[in-house]
Amino acid sequence: MRGFNAAGGLFSGMQGNLPPEAQEKLEELQDLQETAQQVAAQKQEAETQLTESQTALEQLDEIDEETTMYRQLGELLVETEYDEAQTDLESTVDTLEVRVETLEKQEERVQQQFEQLQSELQQMLGGAAGGLGGAGPGAGGD
C-alpha cells in the first residue's frame, strides 16, 4: 500500500495551511491508508493460512487412511480419524477462500474511496495536488 503513504507525505508539510475542507479530506485519506494497511495484512494472513491448509489437504491424500493421525488442540495432540481430518481441512479451505475473496473486494472498495477522495482534494486545491495522480494502493504493482 505504498501509494497511500505518498498522499500523506505530499501534504504533511502544508497540512496547517490547508483550508478546513481540504484538511478534512486529507484526514480521511490518512484514515483510508490505515484501513488499507489493515485489510492488506488480514488478506496476507488469510492467504498464508489458505496455502497451508491446501498443502495439508494435498498431503492428506498421500497418507494411508489407516495411519494413526493427531491434531493439535491448544497445547495437546489429540488422536483423530482420517475422515474427520479431511472434512475439517476441506471446511477450513472453503472458509478461507471466502475470506480472501471478501478481503479482495474490501481492498477494491478502499482503492475506489481513496481515488474519489484524492480527486476531490485535487479539485479543492485547484490542481495543486496533481502529483497524487498515481498514488492509489494499486500503483507500483503491490
In the block, which residue shows the cell 494472513? 45
Q: Is the pTM of this model over 0.85?
A: no
3-state class (DSSP) for residue 71 = strand
What does the pLDDT look like over 77-109, one tens digit per residue?
A: 999 999 999 999 999 999 999 999 999 999 999
How many Å apart are CA 126 and CA 116, to the nearest integer? 15
In terms of CATH architecture, what is 32-124? Orthogonal Bundle (1.10)
What residues contact residue 30 under an 8 Å CB cut-off, 6+ apart? 7, 8
How many Å apart are CA 99 and CA 89, to the nearest integer? 15
Q: What is residue 20's predicted lDDT score, i.e. its pLDDT?
A: 86
Confidence of residue 122 (pLDDT cuts 50, 70, 90): confident
Domain ranges for the chain, please list them: 32-124
